[in-house]
Structure formats: structure tokens, C-alpha cells
């Protein structure tokens, strides 16, 4: 897996993911659980630095290495 996310993209994903997890815990119930689980996806992609959707679409926010 080649990194295809830049630093700003990774930070934004982690922040949004954490926000979704916290919001899901605050909501409680089945919908809250679903939101919390969905929030784990951007956290994981932000930590790893690789997004499968970016790979399929041919997108990379990683700066070009010279």
C-alpha cells in the first residue's frame, strides 16, 4: 500500500472520525452505535495514510516527492 493522503488530509480524517465517535456515544442507541462505528473508518484511513477510494479514483493528496 502506497500512501495517498497528505498530512492535512490525514489530520482532518482523524478529527472528523473522533468527532463522529464521540457524537455516536452521546446519541446512544442503535443509530449512535452505527455512527460511532462509521467514525472508525476515517480514523483508520487517517492513521494508515491510505484510502482505498482514493486508489480506485486515482486521487492522491500526498505531496510529490522529488
Residue 4 near residue 64 (C-beta atoms within 8 A): no
Residue % of the chain over a pLDDT of 70: 97
Residue 41, phi-psi category: left (phi > 0), alpha (psi -120 to 50), beta (remainder): alpha
pLDDT bucket at 65, cuts 50 / 70 / 90 = low
Q: How far apart are CA 63 and CA 26, in angstroms?
A: 37
pLDDT, one tens digit per residue, over 9-27 is: 999 999 999 999 999 999 9
Q: What is the CA radius of gyration of the chain?
A: 14
Average pLDDT, the chain: 93
Looking at residue 2, its pLDDT comes to 86
pTM: 0.88
Half-sphere exposure in the Cβ direction for 15 (13 Å, CA): 6
Amino acid at each position: 500500500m502506497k500512501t495517498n493522503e497528505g498530512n492535512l488530509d490525514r489530520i482532518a480524517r482523524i478529527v472528523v472520525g473522533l468527532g463522529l465517535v464521540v457524537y455516536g456515544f452521546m446519541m446512544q442507541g442503535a443509530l449512535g452505535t452505527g455512527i460511532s462505528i462509521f467514525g472508525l473508518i476515517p480514523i483508520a484511513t487517517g492513521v494508515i495514510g491510505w484510502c482505498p477510494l482514493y486508489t480506485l479514483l486515482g486521487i492522491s493528496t500526498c505531496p510529490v516527492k522529488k
